[in-house]
């Protein structure tokens, strides 16, 4: 069945990865997490807005007792090497001594994840791992030990399944890539 292109802010996107492929990847990640965290009570730290669909679908596949927190990463101009500082907002939980799993929609350059991991480690959790639905290995600029990777994709801009192009496109079940 061929699907139609979509148009967001006058930019054209073409069908890329269907829902079934995303679901299979989410289930594989969930199965590994269920094994790795058996007997523990991890705290999942989901990064809004992009990870909301991934977090919901992943958590439905988990059988371990767990908690979930939703955070945001705010960027503002600063003096770091990338020219901006990223700060975690909304983490109310005491994460000291907890096993954390950060849930992200996509890791591109890795700037965001690197900054987030540094801030989380400073709060002295027992462990921190990352589960990302998508990763663009060609774009990665930091050595991040990302344990759970759903799907590797080339350097394309993608929307759907929680990911947006300037606010639009998060609602689609499938992933689309910019034409």
Residues of this chain that bind ligand IMP (CB under 6 A): 50, 105-113, 157-159, 163
Q: How far is the CB of 97 from ligand IMP (least distance, A)?
A: 27
Q: Which is nearer to ligand IMP, 46 or 106 (CB)?
A: 106
β partners of residue 106: 134
Which one of 108, 156, 164, 174 is the catalytic residue?
A: 108
Contacting residues for 119 by C-beta, under 8 A, at least 6 apart? 87, 88
User: What is the Cβ-side half-sphere exposure of residue 113, based on CA atoms within 13 angstroms?
Assistant: 25
**Burial 1-33, CB ≥16 within 10 A → b, else e:** eeeeebebeeeebebbbeeeebeebbeebbeeb
* Among candidate residues 30, 39, 158, 66, the one with its CA nearest the CA of residue 106: 158
Q: State the minimum distance, in angstroms, from the CB of residue 178 to ligand IMP.
A: 8
Rounded to a whole number of angstroms, the minimum distance from the CB of residue 113 to ligand IMP is 6
Least Å from the CB of residue 65 to ligand IMP: 28
94 is written with which tokens?
């005491």
Q: Which is nearer to ligand IMP, 22 or 37 (by Cβ)?
A: 22
Q: In a 3-state reduction of DSSP, which class is residue 33?
A: helix
Kind plus residue range of the DSSP H or E element containing 30: helix 19-36
Q: Which is nearer to ligand IMP, 64 or 157 (CB)?
A: 157
Burial class, 164, CB count within 10 angstroms (exposed 0-12 / middle 13-18 / buried 19+): middle
17 or 30, CB closer to ligand IMP?
Answer: 17
* Active site annotation includes 108: yes
* Residues designated catalytic: 108
């Amino acid at each position: 069945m061929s699907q139609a292109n979509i148009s967001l802010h006058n930019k054209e996107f073409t069908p890329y990865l269907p829902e079934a492929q995303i679901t299979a990847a989410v289930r594989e990640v969930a199965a590994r997490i269920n094994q790795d965290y058996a007997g523990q009570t991890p705290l999942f730290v989901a990064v809004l807005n992009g990870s909301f669909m991934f977090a919901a679908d992943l958590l439905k596949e988990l059988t371990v007792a767990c908690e979930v927190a939703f955070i945001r990463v705010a960027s503002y101009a600063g003096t770091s090497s990338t020219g901006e500082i990223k700060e975690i907002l909304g983490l109310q939980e005491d994460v000291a001594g907890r096993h954390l799993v950060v849930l992200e929609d996509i890791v591109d350059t890795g700037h965001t994840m690197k900054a987030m991991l540094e801030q989380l480690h400073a709060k002295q959790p027992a462990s921190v791992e990352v589960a990302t639905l998508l990763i663009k290995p060609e774009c990665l600029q930091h050595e991040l030990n990302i344990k759970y990777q759903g799907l590797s994709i080339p350097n394309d801009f993608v929307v759907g399944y929680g990911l947006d192009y300037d606010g639009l496109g998060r609602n689609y079940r499938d992933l689309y890539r910019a034409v």
